[in-house]
Amino acid sequence: MATRKIKALNVKARRIEDENSRDVRGYAFNDCCTSFAPGWEVGYNDGADPCPWKSDLSLCWSTCYWMGQVPDHQAHADWLDSCGNIQQDWRNLCTIPDTK
Amino acid sequence: MQLIVDELVPLSQQGLQHVFHVPTSSFYEVGPEGLALLEEVKAAGHISSGQQLSALTGQSEEERNELLADLRRLRLVVPESEQGSAYGLRDPAPTTEGIRNFVMHVAHSCNLACTYCYADHGLYKGRATLMDQERARSYVDWLFDQGRQHKQLGITFFGGEPLLNMPVVREAARYARQKAQQLDKAISFSMTTNGTLVTEEAVDFFEEIDCQVTVSLDAIGKRNDRLRPFHSGKGSYDEVMERIQPLLARRSVAARVTVTRKNLDVVHTVDTLLKAGFTEVGCSPVDAKDPAFDLRGEDYEQLLDGFATLTDRFMRAALSGRLYGFSNIKNLLKAIHEGHNKEYPCGAGLQMVAGAPNGEMSLCHRFVGEKDFVLGRVQDGGLDKAKRLEVLNDIHLSQRSDCSSCWARYICSGGCHHVNFLFEGSPSATYKTHCDYLRAWYKLGLISYARMVSARPDIFDSPLQPNDSCQQ
- For residue B347, give how far its alpha carbon lies from the nearest alpha carbon of chain A (Å): 21
Contact B338 A12 (CB under 8 A): yes
Range of the domain at A57: 29-74
Contact A10 B75 (CB under 8 A): no
Alpha-carbon gap, residue B449 to B435, rounded angstroms? 21
Total H helices, total E strands in chain B: 15, 17
Whether B445 maps to a domain, the answer reads no
Alpha-carbon gap, residue B437 to B295, rounded angstroms? 11
Residue A43: how many other CB atoms lie within 10 Å = 18
Indicate whether B67 and B135 sit together in one domain: no
Segment B405-449, tens digit of pLDDT: 999 999 999 999 999 999 999 999 999 988 999 999 999 999 999
Segment A35-76, tens digit of pLDDT: 333 333 333 333 333 344 444 444 443 334 334 444 455 566
Whether B356 maps to a domain, the answer reads no
Q: Give how many domains chain A has, as a whole number.
A: 1
Indicate whether B124 and B26 sit together in one domain: no
- For residue A87, give how far its alpha carbon lies from the nearest alpha carbon of chain B (Å): 19
Q: What residues have CB less than 8 Å from B203, skipping those under 6 apart?
A: B246, B247, B250, B251
Q: What residues have CB less than 8 Å from B350, skipping those under 6 apart?
A: B94, B95, B96, B344, B392
Per-chain mean pLDDT for chain B:
91
- Mean pLDDT for B387-394 is 89
Segment B174-194, tens digit of pLDDT: 999 999 999 999 999 999 999
The backbone torsions φ and ψ at residue B26, rounded to the nearest 5 degrees and listed phi first, read -90, 150
Give yes or no for A5 touching B (CB within 8 A): yes
Indicate whether B173 and B309 sit together in one domain: yes
Contact B339 A78 (CB under 8 A): no
Burial of B17 (0-12, 13-18, 19+ CB in 10 A): buried
Of B402, B294, B418, B240, give the one whose Cα is nearest residue B345: B418
- For residue B11, give how far its alpha carbon lies from the nearest alpha carbon of chain A (Å): 14
The backbone torsions φ and ψ at residue B143, rounded to the nearest 5 degrees and listed phi first, read -60, -45
Q: Which of B82, B109, B129 is the last residue of a domain?
A: B82
Indicate whether B301 and B162 sit together in one domain: yes
Contact A78 B50 (CB under 8 A): yes
Q: Which of B82, B113, B137 is the last residue of a domain?
A: B82
Alpha-carbon gap, residue A81 to B440, rounded angstroms? 42
So what's the pLDDT on residue B464?
A: 52
Contact A81 B3 (CB under 8 A): no
So what's the pLDDT on residue B81?
A: 86
Range of the domain at B188: 101-338
The amino acid occupying position B340 is: H
Whether A57 maps to a domain, the answer reads yes
Give yes or no for A91 touching B (CB within 8 A): no
Contact B30 A6 (CB under 8 A): yes
* Contact (CB, 8 A) for B367 and B435: no
The confidence band for B382, taking pLDDT boundaries of 50, 70 and 90, is very high
Q: Which of B271, B306, B338 is the last residue of a domain?
A: B338
So what's the pLDDT on residue B292?
A: 94
* Contact (CB, 8 A) for B223 and B159: no
Alpha-carbon gap, residue B126 to B46, rounded angstroms? 60
The reply to whether ipTM tops 0.85 is no
Option in B28, B49, B460 nearest A13 (CB): B28
Q: Give how many domains chain B has, as a whole number.
A: 3
Whether B447 maps to a domain, the answer reads no
So what's the pLDDT on residue A5?
A: 84
Burial of B397 (0-12, 13-18, 19+ CB in 10 A): middle
Q: Please tell me which of B38-47, B61-70, B232-241 the model is most confident about, judged by mean pLDDT.
A: B232-241
Indicate whether B189 and B59 sit together in one domain: no
Give yes or no for A78 touching B (CB within 8 A): yes
CA dihedral sign, ordered B20, B23, B26, B32 = negative
So what's the pLDDT on residue B53?
A: 60
Alpha-carbon gap, residue B277 to B272, rounded angstroms? 9
